[in-house]
Structure 1
Amino acid sequence: MMKENANLVIQKKSLAEELAEQLQNQIKDGKFAVGQKLPTEPELMRIFGVGRSTVREAVKILVNMGFLKVQQGAGTFVENLTASNEPMEQRLRRADIHDLDEVRKILEIAIAGRAAERRTEQDIEKIEGFLDERGRTAEAGQLEACIEADVNFHIALAKATHNEILYELYRSAAIYLRKGFEHIYVDTACFLASQPTHKQLVRHIIAQDAREALHTINIILQEP
């Protein structure tokens, strides 16, 4: 397994995150109104069958997201019916796969040109390595490995922009997209068919031809 694969681990939700999600849904569904006090810790422990530390961590998550407000000595109250300060990781985790894919396409257009302008020889080595792996696994019909190689290829392109914000935005979205792709694609046929255009994209990036790289990424994004 390649080193970059560590970036693609899909973490399971903790018990506190699951409880926070249940409470969040109840707030959104109107079970609790703005300004209403939540049940006490012991009551929440009894209702959901969890421990005190889980309840406290779940409340902390919802406070950070802007749903709840803790008033010392008075209790925990509903602050908002929608998230006002939800961490990006949690937002991506519950995002619709189609929304994530739309963001991916927008970012890939920005990435292609900048990667062509800024790539280093080390970047090219990683990009070509993942592209070769993408082709090999596509030919072998190894869907999961092919998706992983494809995602790693595009993450490597994002890294080649040497824009840390752009890279982190793409990497974060790609982590959650990868799991969705495993349900969308039934075989590697589309990856095999698009391998030539991906090779063409890499040639333009090696040549530092940003204009042609942009043209090619738009072709790739129109492929199935």
Structure 2
Amino acid sequence: MTQIQKKSLAQEVSERLTEGILNDMYAIGDQLPIEPELMKIYGVGRSSIREAIKILSIKGMLSVQQGVGTFVVSKNIQESLEAQMSNAEIEEVEEVRSLLEAKVAARAALNRTEEELKTIKEYLELRNRFAEEKLASECYQADINFHFAIAEACGNKLLKEIYKIASRQVLRVFEISHNNNTDAFRVSQKLHTDLYNHIKNRDAENAAITAQKIINKLL
């Protein structure tokens, strides 16, 4: 087997391993060779082998059993959540975000730090400024960053990551539905300010209610 050359060693190793699994070089239930053997086969270092195995574990093809070895468990590659979100219909992405919005806002009100609150306020003010100046792309990004900052403050890493992935796709909604117009963002600035104030005052109930109002205006 030829050695890997140049860029993205871990990714290339993962692709070679995938080919091997799909071609039954490694059948389901088989244990992969140990790291030193894989290093010789692919001509890469230990870190590249470990990262390649991690990639395929996340995709659901491999299972790492500590102290035992790495085993092939599936030929079906599980598409990452972000990739699925990217390929989803806008309505599906918005539905996911709607389900998460109130929970994220409520948790942010309870868990936010003063530094996180400061960041939320900075993006709130940028959102308003860009909306007033009719700078559409800057306004859209500031709005996304405002909601990102709230997600960062929610205190639940998994919830935060799922929310952030969904929110990244919301830019598609803005670009398609608002057509470089910031009017809706100027109108909704008060709601966003109310949300900030509820988070500032650690009012989880009203933060959740206000966050849901914001989403309902988008849907």
Q: Which of 191, 203, 206 does residue 212 from structure 1 map onto? A: 206
1:94 paired residue among 79, 87, 92: 87
Which consecutive segments of 4 or more residues in structure 1 shift more than 6 A? none
Q: Distance in 2 between matches of 1:184 and 1:204?
A: 28
In structure 2, the partner of 1:105 is: 98
User: Are the equivalent residues in 1 in contact too, given 2:123–2:142 (CA < 8 A)?
Assistant: yes
1:96 CA displacement: 1.4
Q: TM-score, normalised by structure 2?
A: 0.65
SS at structure 1 position matched to 2:84:
helix
> What does residue range 43-192 of structure 1 map to in structure 2 within 5 Å?
60=15, 69-72=22-25, 85-186=78-179, 187-192=181-186
Checking the alignment, whether the CA contact within 8 Å between 2:132 and 2:186 is kept in structure 1 is yes
1:222 aligns with 2:175: no
Cα pair 2:90 2:172 within 8 Å, conserved: no
Q: Name the SS of the counterpart of 1:197 in structure 2.
A: helix
Find the aligned partners of 2:94 and 2:142 in 1 and give their Cα distance. Answer: 17
What's the C-alpha RMSD, in Å, of the aligned pairs? 2.9
Shift of 1:93: 2.1
Q: Using the alignment, how far apart are the partners of 1:184 and 1:178 within structure 2?
A: 10
CA distance in 1, matches of 2:139, 2:84: 26
Cα deviation per residue 1:168-203 (whole Å; 9 max; x = unaligned)?
A: 111112222223421221211111100001101111
Amino acid at match of 1:104: R
* 8 Å contact kept, 2:108–2:151: yes
Amino acid at match of 2:25: Q
- Give me the whole-angstrom Cα distance separating, in 2, the residues matched to 1:162 and 1:104: 17
Aligned residues: 161
Secondary structure of 2:23's counterpart equals: strand
Q: TM-score, normalised by structure 1?
A: 0.64
**For the residues of structure 1 that align with 2:118 and 2:94, how far apart are their CA atoms?**
26
Q: How far, CA to CA, are the matches of 1:60 and 1:99 in structure 2?
A: 30
Shift of 1:165: 0.8
1 CA distance for matches of 2:104 and 2:201? 15
Residue 102 (structure 1) shift: 1.0
SS in 2 for 1:223: helix
Of all paired residues, the percent bearing the same amino acid is 34
